[in-house]
Structure 1
Amino acid sequence: MDNKTNKNVMPVDEILPIGQTIILALQHVLAMCAGAIAVPIIVGNAAGLSQEEIIFLINADLFVAGIATLIQSLGIRNFIGAKIPMVEGTSFATVSAMVAIAGNYNSNPHVAMCTIFGAVLVAGIFSFSMAPFFSKLLRFFPKVVTGTVITIIGISLLPVAVRWSAGNDMSSPDFGSPQNVLMALGVLVMILVMNKYLKGIWGSVSILLGIVFGTIIASMIGMADFSKVVTSKFISFNTPFHFGMPIFDITSIISLLLVTLVIMTEATGNIIAIHEMVGKPLDDKNLARGLRTDGFATILASMFNTFPHTAFAQNIGLVNLTGIKSRYVVATSGCILFLLGIFPKVAALFASIPYPVLGGAGFAMFGMVASGGIKSLGKVNFEGNKNGIIVAVSIGLAMIPVAVPSFYHAFPSWVNTLFHSGITTGSLCAIVLNIFFNGSGKKEKKQRLEA
């Protein structure tokens, strides 16, 4: 397709050559694979599931993530899906609540899973139903708030890259070993060099190439374990309600509903961030479509044996880093994730990528999210107003759970649930302070419409 045909096409709607699309899509899959497998492993172990059942959970997560990503990027009848390049996956915010639920039924793993999935189903229905009302909050997200939130998302993710670079498992004897750290730094250097010197599509997939070359080097020096690839089945189909029909426990449901509000707040920030990065106008209807996708995906997740789904922030950083804004690239990632959910051996291969390799890539990806926020804040007027203090205090408070994860341990459990995420803490603070100093946003909305 020539430039004349493309001149009126927004970057988010651009269709790239099939070869480029597949390579770029694979890069998105590799960027999210660590997060995609972590939640099923943590919850599965907490419930006392066998290794084979945990691998089944990983495949279920990839299967639903593929469907959710396709819906979010392509949309369905202008009702579900924001039509943006956003990869969906299992939310980390729900882990604590689900581990607590599993702990109440550790003598019967399948009952634990059915109770979790019952709470996930209700949370999904709640999220889906609340999407139109939650989207009305868009006027509370002027540029000073969105720029702050995007910056906080990036800063909050960077400790994840640090932990991955050290080996991820803090109880492991080789956590923080020189070998792990040098591997992460080596991957980061490879990515930077390729990003500088490679042209065209190859420069855009520097993250993918860094992860591939890093994994090859790690396997040569004994840092990669591919035993799960050998023991996994070649093909496996995700059967609905594999562990049994959902069990509805009121305490479990309430705990997950509280977390769902947190997820919706974070999702709002992520959806706003990706719209800004790709240059697509955002209104409350498209925000509702994006949030509705999370709710629908979570309902689907409860049926197909996995957990609440939302946007993966690391992939937002990848969009910013590569400059590739096409939603069709991410839709292709959805297809790949869907297929990975059917072929356990391939999924196990992705799961075998060493954490230090992912950590090196994480520094670039997560840092670019923060960079996008700083770029957005560069468009904010800081003269003659209190916008500076809004940004300063919001970022400062967001660092509390990042710097000291146990900071709220002496508070009631609902406080810990609400504020355990720096993204949620900073987002709520930015919204409240903006209302306090600048008003409700009606004036700004009127000015935008008049412009």
Structure 2
Amino acid sequence: MTTEQTVHPADQVPPGPQLFALGLQHVLVMYAGAIAVPLIIGGAIGLPKEEIAFLISADLFVTGIVSIIQSMGFWRFGARIPVMMGVTFASVPPMILFANDPNLGLPGIYGAVIGAGIVVLLIAPFISRMIRFFPPVVTGTVISVTGLALMPIGINWAAGGQPMVTRVVDGVRSRVPNPEYGSLEFLGLSILVLLIILAVTRFGRGFVSNIAVLIGLAGGFAITLFLGRVEFEGVAEASWFAVITPFHFGFPIFNIGAIFSMSIVMVIVMVETAGMLLAVGEMVDRPMDEKRMADGLRVDGLGSIIGGIFNTFPYVSYSQNVGLVGVTGVKSRWVCVMAGAIMIMLGLVPKLAVIAASIPIYVLGGAGIVMFGMVCATGIRILSKVDYAERGNLFIVGVSVVLGMIPVLSPTFYSHAPAFLAPITHSGIVMSAISAFMLNLYFSHLGGRKPGLPKTLNPLAETVAAGE
């Protein structure tokens, strides 16, 4: 037996050039999402352009650090599977409220983020023990809804942005239709990127097939560059190196109410992280047990503490990178360690960050359609292993999918709900997770029905191991 055969696929280290290319692929597919929250927060509170740029650099820097911790692992931190971490969108509504509070502002945000991170570190072991309540009918449903909830992002990318944009006329801000949304040029280039990815996947061999998404993005970028559609504005002005200084916006303000609100959001984020870790664990043949899940969930807390210190926000595993693992079939966690190193470099070298940000969003759209679709397909594959003769499983899937799609299909459905519930009601992933979890308890655990604890704490892992 060779040494390569004795090393678990998740622990194998690809050769240097392949490792860099595969890592860069992870960076490119998450880059737009990674910088979105700093742009949203900075714009919402009216920060000047240079401060928003600092927020972006800080986010990239911490994203790299936290992704390395999650994938490589040290002591009791890190699931040691290929996972990329990034700022969670679930934290945006409360953070905007904190930022616009004159008694809190950005220091109040960072105090809440650090405080919530400490709470996560304390409760991670307890959350990990709940894995027994996440059988395939629950995980498959949540992962399927995750893919469905992400699809509008990929669709909007392909169409060139958002269908509605903000216009300011005579000092009055209003939302108007985006005249360029769905431009045939945007759609054509997105489809071209999609076709390149499909062609490389079909006809490529070995390593070439594994970097199909990267080749598609590179091809789309080259074509848009040739057409003169790439804007390098800001590259010349950006510096080659800039240090991310802690507490750039002042020492954190630790407000109990803000910490409590952010802690609620982080519990929701932990549920999302648990689902993503379960999905990736199955993809790379390293199913989650209690210890590994707790180690992975602790990174949410540690990442938030680091984020609060270095002027950024709470962190969660990124779903689009889960889709990339499914597309490429590359199981090595060291690929995400390399991606984390690249993210750190982008954070420290603003000029490189500006160049990466120059990739047109509609080029990303072609890749987004593939990746987000693969997340949904992964959930469907898991659901195919479910025994629907078992009482309640159809109800769990049906009800949870509908509840999970409400925020996507009808964003104003919960407009009269209390504002503090927004992080829950505005997330289809969280709604489906809560629904599937509660319904599984109702049908499978209450009233004397308490299935025994499987060895891996994840019944799906035993199904896969049995080759069913």
Give the equivalent residue in structure 2 for 1:330.
336
Give the equivalent residue in structure 2 for 1:67.
65
Q: Which of 181, 190, 198 does residue 175 from structure 1 map onto? A: 181
Q: Which of 32, 35, 41 does residue 33 from structure 2 map onto? A: 35
Give the equivalent residue in structure 2 for 1:146.
139
Once the two structures are overlaid, the 10-residue window that deviates more, 148-157 or 243-252, is: 243-252
Residue identity matched to 1:445:
L
Between the aligned partners of 1:352 and 1:446, the Cα distance in structure 2 is 48
Q: Can you give the 5+ residue segments of structure 2 that lack an aligned partner in the other structure? A: 166-177, 463-468
Residue 85 (structure 1) aligned with residue 93 (structure 2): no
TM-score normalised according to structure 1 size: 0.95
Between the aligned partners of 2:266 and 2:161, the Cα distance in structure 1 is 26
Give the equivalent residue in structure 2 for 1:10.
8
- Change in CA separation of 1:332 and 1:426 when aligned onto 2, cut-off 3 Å: same
Between the aligned partners of 1:310 and 1:446, the Cα distance in structure 2 is 27
Between the aligned partners of 2:6 and 2:455, the Cα distance in structure 1 is 27
Give the equivalent residue in structure 1 for 2:466.
none
Give the equivalent residue in structure 2 for 1:45.
43
| Number of equivalenced pairs | 444
- Contact 1:47/1:113 (CA < 8 Å) preserved in 2? no
Give the equivalent residue in structure 2 for 1:411.
417
Give the equivalent residue in structure 2 for 1:120.
113
Between the aligned partners of 1:89 and 1:381, the Cα distance in structure 2 is 35
Cα deviation, residue 444, structure 1: 3.9
Between the aligned partners of 1:76 and 1:384, the Cα distance in structure 2 is 41
Give the equivalent residue in structure 1 for 2:231.
225
Residue 317 (structure 1) aligned with residue 314 (structure 2): no
Q: Which of 274, 284, 290 does residue 290 from structure 2 map onto? A: 284
- Change in CA separation of 1:166 and 1:137 when aligned onto 2, cut-off 3 Å: same
Give the equivalent residue in structure 2 for 1:238.
244
- Contact 1:164/1:358 (CA < 8 Å) preserved in 2? yes
Taking the TM superposition and a 5 Å limit, the aligned residue runs for 1:356-367 are 356-367=362-373
SS at match of 1:7: helix
* Deviant stretches of 4+, over 4 Å: 446-451
Q: Residues 230-274 of structure 1, C-alpha deviation per residue, up to 9 Å, x if partnerless?
A: 222211000110111011234433332221121111111111111
Identity over aligned pairs, percent: 44
Q: Can you give the 5+ residue segments of structure 1 that lack an aligned partner in the other structure? A: none
- Contact 2:159/2:181 (CA < 8 Å) preserved in 1? yes
Between the aligned partners of 1:253 and 1:168, the Cα distance in structure 2 is 34
- Contact 2:82/2:332 (CA < 8 Å) preserved in 1? yes
Cα deviation, residue 182, structure 1: 1.7
Between the aligned partners of 2:450 and 2:109, the Cα distance in structure 1 is 41
Give the equivalent residue in structure 2 for 1:443.
451
SS at match of 1:231: coil
Between the aligned partners of 1:126 and 1:174, the Cα distance in structure 2 is 45
Cα deviation, residue 353, structure 1: 1.2
Cα deviation, residue 415, structure 1: 2.4
Between the aligned partners of 2:47 and 2:237, the Cα distance in structure 1 is 17
Between the aligned partners of 2:376 and 2:319, the Cα distance in structure 1 is 11
- Contact 2:193/2:366 (CA < 8 Å) preserved in 1? yes
Between the aligned partners of 1:421 and 1:444, the Cα distance in structure 2 is 31
Q: Residues 382-429 of structure 1, C-alpha deviation per residue, up to 9 Å, x if partnerless?
A: 124321221111111100001112211111112222121000000111
Residue identity matched to 1:403:
L
Once the two structures are overlaid, the 10-residue window that deviates more, 409-418 or 329-338, is: 409-418
SS at match of 1:445: coil
- Change in CA separation of 1:447 and 1:302 when aligned onto 2, cut-off 3 Å: closer
Residue 96 (structure 1) aligned with residue 93 (structure 2): yes
- Change in CA separation of 1:223 and 1:97 when aligned onto 2, cut-off 3 Å: farther
Cα deviation, residue 446, structure 1: 5.1
Residue 300 (structure 1) aligned with residue 328 (structure 2): no
- Contact 1:151/1:371 (CA < 8 Å) preserved in 2? yes
Q: Which of 336, 340, 361 does residue 355 from structure 1 map onto? A: 361
Q: Residues 324-362 of structure 1, C-alpha deviation per residue, up to 9 Å, x if partnerless?
A: 010011111111111111000111111121111111100
Residue 195 (structure 1) aligned with residue 188 (structure 2): no
- Which has the larger helix fraction? 1
Residue identity matched to 1:320:
G
Q: Residues 189-213 of structure 1, C-alpha deviation per residue, up to 9 Å, x if partnerless?
A: 1111111112111111110111111
TM-score normalised according to structure 2 size: 0.91
